[in-house]
Amino acid sequence: MLCKTKYFLKMHKYIFSLIILSILVLISCTYTKDHRVLFGKLKNGENIYKYLLANGSCEIEVISYGGIITSIKVPDKNNNLIDVALGFNTLDPYLKDHPYFGAIVGRYANRIDNGKFTINNMDYNLPINNNGTSLHGGIKGFDKVNWDVVSYDSEKKRYIKLNYLSKDMEEGYPGNLNIYVTYTLTDDNELRVKYEAETDKTTVLNLTQHTYFNLSGESFGDILDHKLEIDADSFLPVNEKIIPTGEIKNVEGTPFDFRKGKKIGKDLYKQDDQLLLGNGYDHCWVLNDYNKDLRKISEVNSDDSKIKMEVFTDLPGVQLYIGNFLDGSINSKQGMSYIKRSGFCLETQFFPNSPNTESFPSTVLEPGDKFSSTTTFKFSLQKKLILSFILFFSKILTKTIINSENKSDLTKPTFPSIIHSGQVKSIKTNNG
């Protein structure tokens, strides 16, 4: 009798263990399969989910709507995670009029003058949505559509791949354009943004990522004390519509010289026609060493958090925008106000209004060609002072040696053909 009782107890324990194990497996499978959080619903009832990228040091949150990066949390000088990306905690503010916080921007990032361009003797008209121009893809650009999540690393949480099919003549642009955007978080705290696109009809394309950064924290205040470096000898002056005039101007002796690094606010209030036209910095810099390869083009440092962000791209330009039109009417994630210049954008891209400016690198994409481009944002902490000095003087010495060996004339920028490994073909357009 005792033996029989022990047998039944043993069997009950075994069955109970199996039940618990089965429940845990089911929970685990469900979590692994989904690994997402409901962020809100569209008016048509469609669910919008939030996805997490994490590497044990950095955390990035992405939603399918607009491919928006809602949060970037990186360690500061005290090893505390702080959110350095402006945005919202809920979906509803993203569905209203907001300044493109964290969004994928296209079909054409930046401005096209009068909303018009010509390809192969065909005229195309785009919606006018900003001071006589078509801005960031028009009224309903890529920032306002729900992207399909085609792949998500739910186990390691290292990447997410989004897809959107922009139909022929959507917002006035020709061609069915199939776009993929992949966000990858590396072990080195790099956020890699890879763009891929193909079309069935000749079109124009200019994609960018529109995150507003504040390396002191998204609710900290303005970014005017951030130290910014841009590797560019030239920038594109603009007219009253913030459309490039076509001139490529040297930054030497202007407030637009960030080659050696300086605080964003250092020259912001100098008497300068371009600063007045842009209401501050809202211009495209012509990046040095454009050869279609990935290279470092910018560095930003916050003395408050000691966070450093480096930017790498294979594109020819970067638009610096410093939140000139933020006015305190939008609340931050912590309930504060996003005041004027409380965030900066470094929008890697082709040049504004390129379809109407033959001297600029072509943004034409042909059927059969594949567009591919990568931009990387790398986060780290500033090095200690003594090490910084050593690296600084080492850099100067290296440049001196290189310059002494190569004294070629670099005063005039040249733009190589854009097609390579899937880059856009350089084609002369009829600008009409």
Catalytic residue chosen out of the listed positions 210, 218, 229, 283: 210
Q: Catalytic annotation on 252?
A: no
* Cα Rg of the chain (Å, integer): 25
CA distance 278 to 309: 25
Catalytic residue chosen out of the listed positions 61, 171, 196, 347: 347
SS3 322: coil
SS3 71: strand
Of 105, 126, 129, nearest in space to 349 by CA: 105
Query: What are 194's two structure tokens?
Result: 């890879």
CA distance 103 to 198: 20
**How many angstroms separate the Cα of 63 from the Cα of each of 71, 87, 143, 160?**
10, 12, 11, 10
Token pair 């450093």 in the structure block, residue:
308
CA distance 104 to 290: 23
Find the helix or strand (DSSP H, E) in which 403 lies.
Answer: helix 385-405
DSSP string, 81-132: EEE-B---SSSHHHHSS-S-TTEEE-SB-SEEETTEEEETTEEEE----BTT
Q: Catalytic annotation on 210?
A: yes
Query: Any idea how long the chain is?
Result: 432
**How many angstroms separate the Cα of 213 from the Cα of each of 81, 338, 426?**
15, 12, 32
Instruction: Decide if 367 contacts 359 (C-beta within 8 A).
Output: no
Question: Nearest 5°: CA angle at 221, between 187 and 55?
Answer: 10
Beta pairing partners, 180: 163, 196
CA distance 249 to 347: 19
CA distance 334 to 142: 27
The residues carrying an active-site annotation are 210, 347
